Amino acid sequence: MFKYFSIIAFLSIACGSLGPQDGDAAPPIVEPSFDPVLAAELSTAFDDAIAATGAVSGVAAVWRRYGGMWLGSTEAISPVAPLRIGSITKPFVAACALQLVDAGKLELDATIDRWFPALPSASAITVRDLLQHTSGIVDYMQVTAFREDFYANPQRRWDVASIEGYIESEPRLFTPGARWSYSNSGYYLLGAILEEVSGQSLGNLLRETIWQPLAVTSPVYEMEETPTEPLVPGYSDFFGTWSNVTSDYDISVAGPAGAVAANAGDLAKAIGQLKDQIPPALHEAWLDTVPAGGIDYGLGIMDVPLGNGRRALGHFGDIWGYQAYAFTIPEALTTVVVLLGDDESDINTVFLALLDTLGL
């Protein structure tokens, strides 16, 4: 799944309405250092946007690097409850890769035939291509055989070998490095590479090199761990009937491309400080972008123009039952996160409402 939204400055996305949210929002959590007037304005903007979109449930966070945290949520949902974040997993996997490059265990321009010799064009595809979606490898989520098998047995346990089986017979979309095309396949392959060169599981690598140094505790890689708090239910018409689908599929279908869950506050801190976990010698490579359907894409990071001379760095996430936006605006030292417990309502409206309230 993992829908990719081609936008310029967060243009509107046409999504269906799920019906109005009943009741009042849960009380927000506001750190003492956060401007109380702004906190009240954000709460109002969030509540109004949720009502307008008809989202089933949602949590939002605004973290200001030197100004504290605001957290808001819909009724009956704790502001610190975790949700699946889908492809926002990718910036953290990319950060792990860059740390391994800095440690001399991996090379950005190493070709992947060392790890995947049977994959067509592997001798021309680099680690950098996997990180930047310039490999030309088809997204396994778009392969007809995969989709048929997944929907026939959504509880199947997936691994890199099974994913490779769906993509090795597919033609390359283009010559590696020639252009950009979003591919979850690249990150599934990349996860296996990182595990081999580091000698650790990807979950351990994420925890020890990214989340622990950033002092965030809720993010978990669901391939290996269960969130310490119950996930907010995620609603979808996954099986043709609108329902909570959180337990209806095995999260291994997302793997290194999207199997992380986190709460909004921790995600805001992690995205807002992600640059701190990128080795300084690799900052330029990290943000060396290619055109990507109206935005720019670096190594696991989206660079989105806001139309006011500022840019937002972060990622979108979308997985059955959930939607997520997590972006930091470097010039404003501000990070905004929106997590929704359905995959149909218009998350764009909620995110833009918070940006507008912040004057961004």
User: What is the domain partition of the chain in residue ranges?
Assistant: 81-304
| Beta strands 322-329; 334-340: pairing state | antiparallel
- 55 is written with which tokens? 């989202």
For residues 231 and 309, give the distance between their C-alpha atoms in angstroms, rounded to a whole number: 37
Angle subtended by helix axes 36-53 and 347-358, to nearest 10:
160
- 254 is written with which tokens? 């997302």
Q: Where are the beta strands (DSSP E) in 234-294?
A: 235-236, 243-244, 260-262, 290-292
Spans in the chain with pLDDT lower than 50 = 1-24
In angstroms, the Cα distances linking 291 to 51, 79, 176, 287 are 35, 35, 15, 12
Task: Give residue-wise pLDDT tens across range 175-217.
Answer: 999 999 999 999 999 999 999 999 999 999 999 999 999 999 9
The pLDDT of residue 12: 31
Topology of the domain covering 81-304:
Beta-lactamase (3.40.710)
- 80 is written with which tokens? 């610190």
The pLDDT of residue 15: 29
In angstroms, the Cα distances linking 109 to 27, 112, 243, 302, 314 are 49, 9, 44, 21, 24
In angstroms, the Cα distances linking 239 to 151, 153, 236, 252 are 8, 11, 8, 18
The pLDDT of residue 28: 77
The pLDDT of residue 70: 98
Entry pTM: 0.92
Query: Which residues have CB under 8 Å from 221's CB, separation 6+?
Result: 89, 202, 203, 206, 207, 259, 260
The pLDDT of residue 25: 60
3: alpha, beta or left? (left if phi > 0; alpha if psi -120 to 50): beta
Query: Which residues have CB under 8 Å from 271's CB, separation 6+?
Result: 88, 91, 313, 314, 315, 326, 327, 328, 335, 337
Query: Which residues have CB under 8 Å from 323's CB, separation 6+?
Result: 86, 317, 338, 339, 340, 342, 343, 345, 347
The pLDDT of residue 309: 85
